Structure 1
């Protein structure tokens, strides 16, 4: 059986997740999550980083970069991953984090772009 213990984690904008609020100068989202939930969030960040790295390989491909249809598909994939990351941060977030995400208005905006 999976351990259901919930721990406090801090998520920074780079997608790093830690149990200590290490960098005071960086905005951190405080969440509480069990092992499965934190692994799901880490997986989403890996997906986003892999997607961005994959796209970076095509930097000098005018066929890809200046093709609006391709660019639209690429943005849609990014937005779907970002929406799910923010949705998870909101769901797992403390009251303060939930309020911050709501204040940012990021979920409705990203949902419109999906």
Structure 2
């Protein structure tokens, strides 16, 4: 079992969301998050991202129906957002200092709803 950590680059662009690479994309349009992860941690993150991405595709399909249940659609959006929050939490945990700073700056890290009234 390989326990050695390697640097990987993750972007959350909907088109290429499911790819975690050892190479930077260097596309000015994408935000890449640098993480240090073992093979097992990388695979776990890939599964999490794939689940969120799959749910995002399902969510977009909801809006193609003529009639849809708004409560179901809202629940699906909430589930998608929760999954996305989980992805950002995991990126933060595995992230390099630069990645942690990026996530803090854009306020996407889930702070366990510490603010009163939430």
- Mark yes or no: TM-score above 0.5: yes
Equivalent position to 1:38, from 37, 42, 45: 42
Instruction: Note the residue ranges of structure 1 that are not aligned, 5 or more in a row.
Output: none
Instruction: Note the residue ranges of structure 2 that are not aligned, 5 or more in a row.
Output: 114-118
Bigger drift between 71-80 and 88-97 goes to 71-80
Q: Secondary structure at the match of 1:40?
A: helix
User: Normalising to structure 1: TM-score of the pair?
Assistant: 0.83
What number of residue pairs does the alignment pair up?
Answer: 108
Moved over 4 A (4+): none
Equivalent position to 1:71, from 53, 60, 73: 73
Over aligned residues, Cα RMSD in angstroms?
1.8
More helix by share: 1
Show the counterpart of 1:8: 7
Distance in structure 1 (CA, Å) of the matches to 2:41 and 2:110: 22
